[in-house]
Structure 1
Amino acid sequence: MRSKGIAMSARARPVVARLAPVVSAAVAYRIPSEPRSAGWARRELRRLLRQWCVADELACTAGVLVSELVANAVRAQAAVDGAWVGVRFVLADGGGRLRLEVRDGSAEEPVVKDDVEEDAECGRGLVLVDALASGWGVVPDGIGKVVWAELAVVGAV
């Protein structure tokens, strides 16, 4: 059978013109260990969450969490020139759980501070993480550590 200008075998089947984009459920980055990296990680996470169809309210909460985790990682290795921070975002359990992981080269474990001065510039980050996340923790990795936080997700793709 011939159509205008296109020759096809009788056994040929038409090819799908466009494939739907495949969205990965886990993404990892290596970013510079500098204060502006927290903003970059937050923006990248928001972009991914839009692709994963995660609700805006949850995306805002996740943005606060990743900002705090990256800022803490940068602060933890402030004295190390050329240091980097590893960031990993995972939509797990069929889209029912969002896991945020931040790796740094400092073996010092983060501590939730209960007695932060009212006018202190820092020290409240992990209090926020503890209040907003479904769970969080620290995993030593031989050189440094991975600090993770999770959120329950409803309705993601």
Structure 2
Amino acid sequence: MNLDGTPHPTDDHSLTFRFPRHPRSVPRARDALRACAGLTGDTAAVAALLLSELVTNALRHGSPPGRQIAVTLHRAEGLLRLEVEDAGDRLPRPRTAEPDLDDECGRGLALVAALADDWGVAPRRGPGKCVWVSLKVTDEPQDKGDAPLT
């Protein structure tokens, strides 16, 4: 999303949004996903949860203060790919949460691995990385087929 709040189209089936390094960016990224991806039901809920985890990790462990994060939504051929780019060099690594249910850290990537059909990390141009997940999309957009994101 450009600073004025409009999405930056990358191709017919992709949109990129830019968010500041701020906790409010997590619900804003979910809102952008809901508004643009045309998903419903369980698929929409899982996609929102996966995106929340990736954006939260980018905010917590990725971009240094003052840097933005980029969220790109790709939808084509029955797949939704969510990418979160940040300027941090620290690669995500799954860890085990303490058995105590009050431990708030260590479950995010385990959740991503359990819910996503695939996920990984890729380099990006410039400093940092792109963490991505893919999810099979069984929901039909309202106009049928793999319509461009709106």
Fold match by TM threshold 0.5:
yes
Shift in Å at residue 30 of structure 1? 1.1
Partner of 1:84: 68
Shift in Å at residue 115 of structure 1? 4.3
Taking the aligned partners of 1:33 and 1:117, their CA distance within structure 2 comes to: 30
Describe the superposition over 1:118-153 as per-residue Cα deviations: whole angstroms up to 9, x where unpaired.
221222111110010000000022510000001001
Describe the superposition over 1:96-136 as per-residue Cα deviations: whole angstroms up to 9, x where unpaired.
00000000011111011124342212221111100100000
Q: Once superposed, which parts of structure 1, at least 4 consecutive aligned residues long, lie more than 6 Å away?
A: none
Partner of 2:94: 112
When the two structures are aligned, how many residues end up with a matched partner? Answer: 129
Computed over aligned residues only, the root mean square deviation of the Cα atoms, in angstroms, reads 1.8
Partner of 2:28: 40
Gapped regions of structure 1 (runs ≥ 5) = 1-23
Taking the aligned partners of 2:75 and 2:40, their CA distance within structure 1 comes to: 13
| Paired residue secondary structure (2:90) | coil
Residues 107 and 140, structure 1, Cα contact 8 Å, conserved in 2: no
1:26 corresponds to 2:14: yes
Structure number with bigger Rg: 1
Taking the aligned partners of 2:85 and 2:65, their CA distance within structure 1 comes to: 16
1:6-155 mapped onto 2 (5 Å cutoff): 24-50=12-38, 54-77=39-62, 80-93=64-77, 96-118=78-100, 119-141=102-124, 142-154=126-138, 155=140
Taking the aligned partners of 2:98 and 2:127, their CA distance within structure 1 comes to: 29
Q: Could you state the TM-score of these two structures normalised by the residue count of structure 1?
A: 0.76
Gapped regions of structure 2 (runs ≥ 5) = 1-11, 146-150
Taking the aligned partners of 1:104 and 1:117, their CA distance within structure 2 comes to: 30
Partner of 1:13: none
Shift in Å at residue 55 of structure 1? 2.7
Q: 1:75 to 1:147 in 2, by over 3 A?
A: same
- The percent identity for this pair of structures is 41
Taking the aligned partners of 2:20 and 2:81, their CA distance within structure 1 comes to: 21
Shift in Å at residue 81 of structure 1? 2.6
Letter in 2 for 1:124: R
Residues 77 and 83, structure 1, Cα contact 8 Å, conserved in 2: no
